[in-house]
Amino acid sequence: MTTAPRPKLEKLEGGQVVPIRRLEERRAALSDLSDEALLASCGVDESAALGALFDRHHAAVYRLISRLLRTDRAETDDLVQLTFLEVWRAAKNYRGKGSVRSFLFGIAANTVRHHLRSSRRRRDAIAAIPEPASTSTPADHAQRAQQVVRLQLALDALPHDLRAAYVLCDLEEVPGVEAAKILDCREGTLWRRLHDARRALREAIEAGGAR
């Protein structure tokens, strides 16, 4: 007596295990749904629907963001990812006014706006380094300008996780508990990243001043 081979299994989020063939069929079925139906599915935590929306619209969202913000490809890719994460959170708020494409574009534009605001605050924080005393000389002003440049370069050189922790906590003044949730990490991990970021920035300034 022969037995049929057991289907291959794939583990999903939440620990649920289903046959790979069923997953493929489900993804194929989702690809045939309208944008509105996919967004509604996102609103009930259907992660595969978000993937289908991403596949369908990420190129247009990328093009929009790259036109709104002249930056490198890596940063644009990050903003596209942030846009679709926000789509996942905001899907329940869609009321059918306007197309889903317009809904996505609105979220993308808002993501860029927040990004630019954070960048301006970061520059303002750097520029807020105390001015030398009124008796300062042109050499003092030149030294301060160099310090500002060093700090900006040090911020830009930080790994993304460290930079995000520093910007959220020290520049945006987001409470640690909320920042940890935003970055999807433990509070202990957040504080370690923040400590490492502050140390790296301090060392960059001190190293420059020692020259």
- Do the domain assignments include residue 170? yes
pLDDT, one tens digit per residue, over 174-201 is: 778 877 887 788 888 888 988 898 888 8
pLDDT, one tens digit per residue, over 122-173 is: 565 555 545 545 555 666 666 666 666 777 778 888 888 888 888 778 876 7
Domain count, the chain: 1
Closest CA to 179 of 152, 197, 155, 154: 197
Residue 105 and residue 68 in contact, taking contact as beta carbons nearer than 8 Å: no
pLDDT, one tens digit per residue, over 72-123 is: 888 888 899 889 989 988 998 888 877 898 889 888 888 888 887 776 665 6
- Do the domain assignments include residue 206? yes
Q: What is the CATH number of the domain that holds 142?
A: 1.10.10.10
Determine the pLDDT at residue 7.
38
pLDDT, one tens digit per residue, over 28-55 is: 677 778 989 999 988 888 878 888 898 8
Which tokens in the block code for residue 124? 């303002």
- Do the domain assignments include residue 103? no
Residue 42 and residue 34 in contact, taking contact as beta carbons nearer than 8 Å: no
Closest CA to 151 of 196, 202, 211: 202
- Do the domain assignments include residue 177? yes
- Do the domain assignments include residue 209? yes
- Do the domain assignments include residue 61? no
What is the residue range of 171's domain? Answer: 137-211
- Do the domain assignments include residue 85? no
Query: How many Cα atoms are found within 13 Å in the side-chain-facing hemisphere of 187?
Result: 5
- Do the domain assignments include residue 33? no
Report, as an integer, the average pLDDT of 51-67: 88
CA distance 26 to 172: 41
